[in-house]
Structure 1
Amino acid sequence: MRRTGFSAYRGTLALSVAAMALAGTTAAAQTGAGAADAGAGTGAGSGDAIIVTARKQAETLFEVPIAVSAFNSASIQDKMAQDITDLAEFTPGFQIQEAFGRDGDRPVMRGASNILFSDGKVGIFLDGAPYFGDFSSLDLANIERVEVIKGPQSAVFGRGTLSGAINVVLRRPTSEFEGRIAGTIGNFDRREISASLSGPITGGIGFQVGAKLFDIDGQWRNAAVAGERLGDQSTRQYTAGLFLDPTEDLSASVRWLHQKDDDGHFAIGLQQSGANNCYLATRSYYCGVVQPMNSFGINTDRLVRPGLYRNADRFIGDISWDIGGSGYEASFQAGYSDLVEVIGVDQTYDPRGFYFLPQAMCGQSFYALPNQDCRKSSFEATTGTRRKTQTYEGRLSSPVTDPFRWRVGMFHSIDKQRGMRDYLELNEVGPELLDDTRRVRNLAFFGGIDFDVTSELTIGAELRHQIDKVRNVTPTYRVGDVFDAAYLATVTLPNPNQTVGVAATRSATFKATLPRITINWKPQPDLSFYAQYSQGNSPGGFNKVTAPEPIYDEEKLINYEIGMKTAKFGFDYLNVSAFWQDYKNQVLTNTYVANNVVDSYSVNIGRTRIRGVELEGQLPLVGRILKLQFTYTFLDAEIRKGVEPERALQLLGTACKTGTAINLDRPGCREAASIAGNRPPLVAKHTGTVGLRFEHEAANGWTVFSGADLIYRSSYFAQTLNLARSGNSTKLNLQLGVSDERGLRISVYGRNVLGDETPVGILRYLDFPAARTPTGDYARAFGITPARKPEYGLTVSKSF
């Protein structure tokens, strides 16, 4: 896709109008005109304005004794949030790095680092049903609210919620017809339209339908392929639901969500080893703030299918029965998802053509491998996976008005993921291996109680016992069953009968009993305090059989927390929480080379202590006309016990090697490899936002509004070595618009208008063409993912 001249003009116009938004906000602070609040503050932490289901029961945000940031549809619109990644910027304790476009989510909740995958750390749910797979492209156009629940949620939500959970609550129909249509145009040829409609069909039966179409051109030119841009994105999302309420005591629904993403290759550049500036005499590294990338070269023309293709269908069905109107409720929920994902990546991150085998020798002498295609680099890979998931949950609970309340239930899920043969290739080192087929069965029993000791004091306890059975099957295939005879005739030593891979089956069972205990004290209607003890876990699993560590153990996180929520002292809302966490067997990833293929594997690094403070609030400055919104997080995360073999190489060189392998058992090497005292990767010590919201009634039912958000994130380290880091980031978003009492809303916006260039991702990598280091290893390099450029646009919506 190519940016037109009109697009460039439109971007310039939007820049001018966005600048006016900030001027309008400042002028509003000076004029002090009075008007009614349109609800810009009904987002994160807005007291009892939002009902949440953070404990899978309806409670006000003020009442729930947990740190929750909730964003309703109005707040999401106000913050110009397109996806959960945008909301993370306004959520204390929550960070997301998007190093690989809209694939490979890396959420970091309260300092629990995540390098290459999200399963097991922060779970995402649709109406309480587990959502498996990457969530960065999940659209928020037609949802009711998003609840970001911080701290271990394993006692309630189960598997994959070690450090937090995100519950996306879908919109339900009311007794009246309601709808909304919205459209956005912006620079980089951003084109977006969404629509939703809901209402009654007949007595006791309602419906909901919605759709969103989204496209944006890539922001970066690809120097390796003429006329191509990197980073373009496209999404088609459709939703539909049928809702049954035959009696006052019985309700049921079934919902369908279809999503198709079709993205080009993400922008990433390789900071080559020539930039390394430390440990040059052993294994060189880069120390300091990494260099921003100004040019990018990705060999997309050599990929079967460059970029990301994702096609998913998800179904959720539930039924709830208030037994005979007694207040005792029985409910059942089932979920099913079918996800196909194809990812094509030039893993050189560089316009240079990387080959493991010298091209002059490829196909000759001892490089004459069966079914070897010398024209194809093993770095140019396209992989396909299919993932099918079933979840079932049944619950029984007592009346919510009783002073002693209880709930019990059972959960079962089957999650199966397998590699797809369609995208296997032959390359310089022969046929590609087919990814393992992984199946995880989870069975859990849970329960909880709440007891009102007095009208002001409530004590609660929750417990979940879960059993995870993980099974990995390493498949094999016959070359002639995948590649046709005509193609095989063009490669070296064609052998259709070659069997690729070594069959293996591995299985393991992980059991955990996970508690949470809460105390909630509300001395006044607008003031509450809470204390909490909770545990979270992430079950272990298997790496590929070729990895240095074939298995990794489960992670465990223990959390101690206190907090306060209030609407006193002039604040609309003020939420403060402090926590201390003991993080055991933290899992991170590293790279390795096996059979002339580079890959990553998961490894337990040791033990981490995390302390932090979170703050969010809203303060009226001029009545209901001008308001200040703010968030702040302080995270003191420190690895207390752990080793990083590369550290031993840097300090002692070949003295820590036996042959080509690192040997930490050699004298002084294990001590040299210690990373105790370092900060976990991707964890910024300080994050925060400051925002101004102005809203004033004009003539004839029109309202003028504007907003400005300053978003700050301090530097984070790329890896546990704490050498290469991102640098501090400061972004400014602006918005200016008008709305009327009939549901029309028109706004212009600017995102990152200051042009902050701090990288959004840093990948510790290898510079394969470069000379080996003095230790005999590949030289280190770093894949740098750039920040998105300034974006401007116009949005028009109509609600009815």
Structure 2
Amino acid sequence: MKDHFYMTSAILAALGGLCLAPGAMAQEAGARAGAEDTIVVTARKRSERLEDVAASVSVLSEEDTELLALDGIADYVRQIPNATLVSAGPEYLADISIRGQGGGRQGFSESATGIYRNGIYVAGGGFGGRSFSRLDFFDVDRIETYRGPQGALYGRNAVGGAINVISQRPTDEFSAEFKAGYESPERYSGKAILNAPLSDAVAARIGAYYTDQNDGFIKEESTGEAVDKREYFGARGQLRADLSSATTANLTVEYFDSTAPGFSALGQRQAPRFAAGQFADTEPGPFVSRDSRRGVVEIDSTAVFAELNSALSFGEFTAIFSYKQRNGDRFNEDLDSFLGFQGITVAGIPTDLIASQSEDFERFGGEVRLASNDDGGVTWLIGADFGAHTDDVVTANDGAAGIGALAALATRVDAFTEDLTTYSAFGLVDFPLGGNTTLTAEARVQHDEKDFVFTREQLGAVVLDTGDVSESWTKFLPAITLSHDFAEGHLIYLKAASGYRPGGFNTGIDTANADFIPYDPETAYSFEAGMKGVFGNGVRYGLTGYYIITEDIQAVSTLGTTTTTTALQNVGDTNAYGVEAELGGVTPAGPGRLRWNLAAASGSGEFSDDAVITTAGGGSVVEVIDLGGVRLNRTRDYILSANAFYFAPLSGDIDWFLGGSMQAEGGGYENASGGSDSPTGRSLDHFLMFDARAGISGDNWRLSAYGKNLSDEVYRVQSVGGNAFYNEPRKYGVELQLKFGG
């Protein structure tokens, strides 16, 4: 399959040589949208207009995030075309899958998508390191999503795409913002942001937010008390200094603290419970808890970012460095309920198991790059990055049980340390071929090294010790794009690209399954054709078709019914294919304006004929499932989103606005053994959700009310070990926002 990728890349390069003669494919659609309608993105590691980038890119602006009443990661993912949430229950373990890629995941494996803040990779570890935290979405300028493999420029884990969250930066004007809100059920929130120039060359921006949810949707059956309460606090300080007329430095320090529900607080047990060979009762519903205790997750993290940008005579130099330290703890988990053995007494011993886990994570990384000026000729970009992290995790169980396997589980302590070192070099060259045609070549050489030490103790004695296990991988990740501007602000393109997700080590394997500890990388090769542009009235459009071949894809399976053990495995190759379309803009309508956006996607795919996965059967690893021809999990028949907001004058300096959004998904399978003829396959739930917001605003204030999931749609987000995790039902809220200066 790799040969096919390189052959197609060569064909695209050859086609570029034939495109020297001009020839307009369409008439001019009108003057380019005004500067106020320009959307700038950094999909190619430099600032460019969205319509000039030959790639499938979408953007959520600051105004989008405020109007759409977005909160946690699930809300944001539903707004990203052709992206789905891959959850494991608690939100700190959520992943983002784009174009059905990266669906195989573990709590401490590599993330399913490239996760970036202000252009630098920030993922790693398990306690919130798989995706974005709520602090990442605080005081945001825009959120850029690059669909399709992005290995050449964005490196690790970008097998389906990458997401880059751009924060607001200090400016030279004084401004202040305050927001207070209330949301059902009994949730209070507030934020404050202050931007101030300290001198002609120095400016600061500080901000913080706090959310306290004292009630919830999941109630304990006997008391009626909520078990899904939450509390979040985040703060960020930035200092920007103009070191010269051409050089600017920016330092960011931030802190995040969260207390949220764990597995046992959120999950509904789906499978019947076991009682000496007999089936007991099942849970009464998705929002009623019968657990004997409530799992809680506490996470605190500190991050530092240092950035330097310098405009040179021939281009721009950029250096970014980041540091993150995070502590995570989950405790008081009702493990016997999670496994389906709650209330079972054997040999006179009631089953009562308690689980806890802690993580100490530290990461340091940096990137430097140099880009030439865009003077209409050959342009280029070169760069290098590096990173290192250490992840120390301890998982300890307690309690008692009369069932032998559970009694052993109750006295088990697992501990592992993973050290990662990674470095790479990358580059890009644009070759103008004449006739508004450009050939772009990109490439990255990436090297990853992982060291892993895992021990298991039973009653104080070591029963499994891996020793110091090491693996390393070096990957060459090319991409090539042929694009043609057939009218001002409109282009078509063909692209071949690659992406890579490193291998690693499973962290909870039983002694009998030690062969499953290591797993290999997966590599994606994609072929994409697209068309995009912006009309003179500011309406933007995009249409893309893609085909992705993934080698040695990673998939997850359960290896036992009396343990929480799961394992990532390389199960074979897959192909994925689909189409995406976007349309949106700001349109004058009557006395006001209509801001609107539509997005639709459809995807599918299959496992190769020789693909197989090993999974649990009757409590031990005895079943090998043939995946040949089975539909690729996490692909959806349709993913739809639409939003529209109308703004108009009300009286004097007061305006009113009204709007909402819709998200819908359907089709597909949750796990790799899915398929209509598979007894172990789990279909993904379909859903159709509606949100709305209405309000009034003045020169420096806005008051609004909103509703989320107005149709009260309840669907299963994920199943884990026989437990189902659901979305939140209908919610209402009000917000008051004040802004000064700026």
Normalised by the shorter chain, which TM-score bucket?
0.7 to 0.9
Q: In the alignment, which of 252, 259, 266 is matched to residue 256 of structure 2?
A: 259
1:457 alignment counterpart: 437
Q: In the alignment, which of 532, 539, 550 is matched to residue 583 of structure 1?
A: 550
Q: CA 1:67 to 1:351, structure 2 compared with 1: closer, same or farther past 3 Å?
A: closer
Q: CA 1:293 to 1:123, structure 2 compared with 1: closer, same or farther past 3 Å?
A: farther
2 CA distance for matches of 1:225 and 1:311? Answer: 32
SS in 2 for 1:156: helix
SS in 1 for 2:652: helix
Instruction: Give the structure with higher Rg (CA).
Output: 1
2:326 alignment counterpart: 339
Deviation at 1:332, TM superposition (A): 1.8
- Return 5+ residue gaps in structure 2 as ranges: 1-32, 124-128, 401-406, 676-680
TM-score by length of 2: 0.84
1 CA distance for matches of 2:394 and 2:340? Answer: 28
- Return 5+ residue gaps in structure 1 as ranges: 1-41, 276-283, 285-289, 363-373, 480-494, 665-672, 766-781
Deviation at 1:274, TM superposition (A): 8.5
Deviation at 1:612, TM superposition (A): 0.9
In the alignment, is the contact (CA less than 8 A) between 1:242 and 1:255 conserved in 2? Answer: yes
In the alignment, is the contact (CA less than 8 A) between 2:81 and 2:641 conserved in 1? Answer: no
Q: Does 1:711 align with 2:678?
A: no
1:674 alignment counterpart: 626
Q: CA 1:298 to 1:402, structure 2 compared with 1: closer, same or farther past 3 Å?
A: farther
In the alignment, is the contact (CA less than 8 A) between 1:297 and 1:349 conserved in 2? Answer: no
1:408 alignment counterpart: 382
Deviation per CA, 1:258-304: give whole Å up to 9, x if none.
111101334211112489xxxxxxxx9xxxxx999345335363x6x
Deviation at 1:331, TM superposition (A): 2.5
Pairing of 1:498-537 with structure 2 (within 5 A): 498-499=461-462, 501-502=464-465, 504-537=467-500
2 CA distance for matches of 1:314 and 1:628? Answer: 36
Q: Does 1:54 align with 2:51?
A: no
Deviation at 1:353, TM superposition (A): 4.7
Q: In the alignment, which of 675, 683, 686 is matched to residue 728 of structure 1?
A: 686
Q: Which segment drifts farther, 46-55 or 404-413?
A: 46-55
1:190 alignment counterpart: 187
SS in 1 for 2:74: helix
Q: Does 1:702 align with 2:662?
A: no
Task: Figure out how many residues of one structure are paired with residues of the other and give that number.
Answer: 671
SS in 1 for 2:223: coil
Q: In the alignment, which of 53, 58, 64 is matched to residue 75 of structure 1?
A: 64
Pairing of 1:527-676 with structure 2 (within 5 A): 527-544=490-507, 546=510, 547=513, 549-568=516-535, 572-593=539-560, 597-618=563-584, 620=587, 622=589, 625-626=593-594, 628-644=596-612, 662=622, 673-676=625-628
Q: In the alignment, which of 110, 134, 137 is matched to residue 133 of structure 2?
A: 137
Deviation at 1:47, TM superposition (A): 10
Deviation at 1:598, TM superposition (A): 3.0
Deviation at 1:756, TM superposition (A): 0.5
Q: CA 1:634 to 1:348, structure 2 compared with 1: closer, same or farther past 3 Å?
A: farther
1:107 alignment counterpart: 96
2 CA distance for matches of 1:202 and 1:563? Answer: 47
Letter in 1 for 2:114: G
TM-score by length of 1: 0.78
In the alignment, is the contact (CA less than 8 A) between 1:694 and 1:706 conserved in 2? Answer: yes
In the alignment, is the contact (CA less than 8 A) between 1:555 and 1:585 conserved in 2? Answer: yes
1 CA distance for matches of 2:469 and 2:190? Answer: 47
Q: Does 1:234 align with 2:231?
A: yes
In the alignment, is the contact (CA less than 8 A) between 1:267 and 1:296 conserved in 2? Answer: no
Letter in 2 for 1:631: A
Deviation at 1:424, TM superposition (A): 6.4
2 CA distance for matches of 1:130 and 1:716? Answer: 30
1:24 alignment counterpart: none
2:285 alignment counterpart: 293
SS in 2 for 1:76: helix
In the alignment, is the contact (CA less than 8 A) between 2:394 and 2:414 conserved in 1? Answer: yes
In the alignment, is the contact (CA less than 8 A) between 2:430 and 2:440 conserved in 1? Answer: yes
Q: Does 1:395 align with 2:335?
A: no
Letter in 1 for 2:367: E
Q: In the alignment, which of 159, 163, 180 is matched to residue 162 of structure 1?
A: 159
SS in 2 for 1:698: strand
SS in 2 for 1:71: strand
In the alignment, is the contact (CA less than 8 A) between 1:47 and 1:573 conserved in 2? Answer: no
In the alignment, is the contact (CA less than 8 A) between 1:254 and 1:318 conserved in 2? Answer: yes
Deviation at 1:254, TM superposition (A): 1.0
2:126 alignment counterpart: none
Pairing of 1:88-487 with structure 2 (within 5 A): 88-112=77-101, 113-117=103-107, 119-132=110-123, 133-139=129-135, 140-223=137-220, 226-265=223-262, 266-273=265-272, 293-297=285-289, 299=291, 301=293, 306-323=295-312, 326-344=313-331, 345-349=333-337, 353-354=341-342, 359-360=346-347, 376-377=352-353, 380-401=354-375, 403-420=377-394, 425=398, 428-429=407-408, 431-454=411-434, 456-475=436-455
Question: Percent of pairs identical after alignment?
Answer: 19
Deviation at 1:628, TM superposition (A): 4.5
Deviation per CA, 1:93-144: give whole Å up to 9, x if none.
1111444131211321101124445724202111112112033532423111
Deviation at 1:762, TM superposition (A): 2.3
In the alignment, is the contact (CA less than 8 A) between 1:120 and 1:539 conserved in 2? Answer: no
Q: Which segment drifts farther, 783-792 or 570-579?
A: 570-579
In the alignment, is the contact (CA less than 8 A) between 2:394 and 2:413 conserved in 1? Answer: no
2:638 alignment counterpart: 686
Deviation per CA, 1:366-389: give whole Å up to 9, x if none.
xxxxxxxx8852xx2110011100
Deviation at 1:633, TM superposition (A): 0.6
Q: CA 1:93 to 1:213, structure 2 compared with 1: closer, same or farther past 3 Å?
A: same
Deviation at 1:507, TM superposition (A): 0.5
Deviation at 1:575, TM superposition (A): 1.2
Letter in 2 for 1:334: F
Deviation per CA, 1:481-506: give whole Å up to 9, x if none.
xxxxxxxxxxxxxx8x7456535121
1 CA distance for matches of 2:221 and 2:37? Answer: 54
Question: What is the aligned-residue RMSD (CA, Å)?
Answer: 3.0
In the alignment, is the contact (CA less than 8 A) between 2:85 and 2:94 conserved in 1? Answer: yes
In the alignment, is the contact (CA less than 8 A) between 1:173 and 1:207 conserved in 2? Answer: yes
1:760 alignment counterpart: 717
Q: CA 1:274 to 1:234, structure 2 compared with 1: closer, same or farther past 3 Å?
A: closer
Deviation at 1:455, TM superposition (A): 6.8
Letter in 2 for 1:65: A
SS in 1 for 2:76: helix
Deviation at 1:227, TM superposition (A): 4.5
Deviation at 1:182, TM superposition (A): 1.0
Q: CA 1:268 to 1:218, structure 2 compared with 1: closer, same or farther past 3 Å?
A: farther
1:484 alignment counterpart: none
2 CA distance for matches of 1:227 and 1:155? Answer: 53
SS in 2 for 1:625: strand
